Structure 1
Amino acid sequence: MSQQDLEKLVHTFIFSRLDYCNGVFTGLCKKSIRKLQLIQNAAARVLTKTRRVDHITPVLRSLHWLPVQQRIDFKILLLVYKALNGLGPKYISDLLLPYEPSRPLRSSGTGLLSVPRVRTKHGEAAFSFSAPHIWNKVPESCRSAETLSSFKSRLKTFLFAAAFN
């Protein structure tokens, strides 16, 4: 089988399953994310013919694949960007409230979102908490992107650097 056909198979059968509704994986326990990461690692090993004893991080970096946790964050942040820019559903944008400090601060016009208080771990897994929490960690240059394609590019660069540096 050619390398190009193998890449198509991996993307069709592995990543379509990993990325399908991965927005609901927010707040998933580390053990479950680890299992999904093992699937991605196995796909990378098959694609690059890397032995099981070799370290996987350089392989993922060379393929330019985001680890599973960053893929989940990417999907959440993409939903937030779309909702804030009128490209997403109204019910999602209704969950996102802009951060408005009680007095003038330098952070006033930076596109931050208000993170609601929660009392339980289950509350931290809710979209209304996790989305603003993750969004506020993204650099302002990424949050203020003019187009969806520039946002995606900047976001992937940011997440890739965070994962592999």
Structure 2
Amino acid sequence: MPHGSLLLDRIQNEPDVKASLLQVKHERLEEYNPDVYISLRARANKGEAETHDLRSRVLDFLNSDKKVFLILGDSGAGKSTFNKALEIYLWQQYNKGDRKIPLFIHLPSIKDLERDLVVERLRQANFTESQIWELKQNHEFILICDGYDECQQTRNL
């Protein structure tokens, strides 16, 4: 029965998923500088004249049953900065009871986009395979994918 004992030791000595999540959250919050962010206004469709607060629109979307929200804009328009600010806001909401884990994924940093983006991003954040399995079994994720235009993808992710 030594094999079972080794497995038990490994599980007991592995960092707690909750503690690892809090560490990732802390690191992401530390990296963010709110002084450089200006709230964006956007149009729902290219031809529309009326603009809306982008964060409000995204939060409405996240509270709906819809699955994909695409933000298009010229280079330098603030899409990446918005995505990072959104991630920070969602991490702050995570503390307040929202159990969806925000994952900012800079797509060009993922070696193989055909693999599981959640797994790849969690590996980048130094989660173990068993922690990743536990997170995927027990949590939902909000994927904030950035840099799609830099990947030169000719197909959908």
TM over 0.5: no
TM-score by length of 2: 0.28
TM-score by length of 1: 0.27
Question: Higher strand share goes to which structure?
Answer: 2
